[in-house]
Amino acid sequence: MTKKKTIKKKASTKHANGLSAKEISFVNAYFKNHFNGTQAALESGLGKTDGSAAVMASRMLSTVKISTEISKRLYEAGGITADRVAKELAKLAFAGDLADFDKFFEDGEKLSELAKAGVDTSLVKKIKRRVETSGGLNYESREIELYDKLVALGYLVKVLGMITDKVEHSGALTLADVVQAAASGDLSTLGKK
C-alpha cells in the first residue's frame, strides 16, 4: 500500500510590486510618520522597542524592493526623485548672492515683480520690512535672508554619497590591532590577517 502525501502550498502573500504585506505596512507607516523609520517599524509590528524597531527600519530601508517602492511613491506624489532633490539642493548651495535682490531694496519692488523679472525667489527664506519714523520722516528698511548655503551643501554631499555618516565593520578586529596599525602609520593592514 502506498501512502499519498499531500503538500499544502501556502498562498503567496506577495503583492504585484513584489512586497509582502508586512513590507507594504512598513512603507505605508513610513509615509504616515513623515519618514520616521523607527516609528514605522513599531507601527507595522517589526519591533517592540525603539532599539529593535530602529534596527528593523534600517534593514527594511536598505532593501532594494522597499527603497524602490518609496522612490516610486515619491515620484508619483510630485515628481520627487533623487536627481530632482540633488538639483534643488545644488540650487540652494550654489545660489547667487544678495546682489540679485538689489532692485528689491533700491526701488521697493515686490518680490513677485522680481520673480517676473527672472530672479529666483525660491531662495528666499525670510523677508523683514520695517518702517520707522524719525523727525517727521518715514524710513523703510528691508532685510532678506536666503536659505543657508552651508546646510544645503551638507545635505547635498550626503545625497550624492560624498560623505558617510556611519561606517559599519564586521570581523575580528581588536583594539590591539588598531593601536598597532596606528603606531605603524599604516591603517591599510587593519582586518587583513
Domains assigned to the chain: 13-80 (1.10.10.1400), 96-151 (no CATH)
- For all residues of the chain together, what is the average pLDDT? 76
Highest mean pLDDT among 86-100, 118-132, 158-172: 118-132
Could you give the CA distance from residue 143 to residue 150 in angstroms, rounded to a whole number? 20
Contact (CB, 8 A) for 101 and 55? no
The backbone region for 108, taken as left when phi is positive above 0, alpha when psi lies in -120 to 50, beta otherwise, is: left
Which pLDDT does position 45 carry in this prediction? Answer: 93
Report residue 25's pLDDT band, with 50, 70 and 90 as the boundaries.
very high
